Amino acid sequence: MNGVEVFACRNGFARLIATVASSTELAGGNQVFLRRDGDRQWRVVARAPASVDCGDASVTVEMKAVCAGLR
C-alpha cells in the first residue's frame, strides 16, 4: 500500500481511500468503508472505486449505512 487518506471517521464509522502501487483502479485508489463492532474492532463492510460517492445509485446498503453514520 502506498498510502491511506481518511475522508471521515466518527460515530463508529469510517470512509477512507487506499492507494496501492500496482493498482489498476482509477487514479486515486479504492475506497474502503469501515464499521467498528462492539468489541472495538474495525471491519471492512464495503469497497468501491474512488469515483463512487455516497449519493450514487450504485451505492450498496452497507455503504449507505456508513455514509449515514458519518453525517
Give the pLDDT band (50/70/90) at residue 26. very low
Question: What's the rounded Cα separation, in Å, for the pair 11 and 36?
Answer: 9
Q: For residues 61 and 27, which has the higher predicted lDDT (pLDDT)?
A: 61
- pLDDT tens profile 28-46: 578 999 999 887 899 999 9
Looking at residue 26, the DSSP 8-state letter turns out to be S
25: region left, alpha or beta (phi > 0 left; psi from -120 to 50 alpha): beta
Answer whether residue 23 shows pLDDT above 80.
no
Mean pLDDT for all residues in the chain: 85
pTM summary value: 0.79
Question: What's the rounded Cα separation, in Å, for the pair 23 and 14?
Answer: 22
CB within 8 Å of 39: residues ≥ 6 apart:
none
Range of the domain at 8: 3-69
Tell me how many domains the chain contains. 1
Question: What's the rounded Cα separation, in Å, for the pair 35 and 2?
Answer: 23
Answer whether residue 8 shows pLDDT above 90.
yes
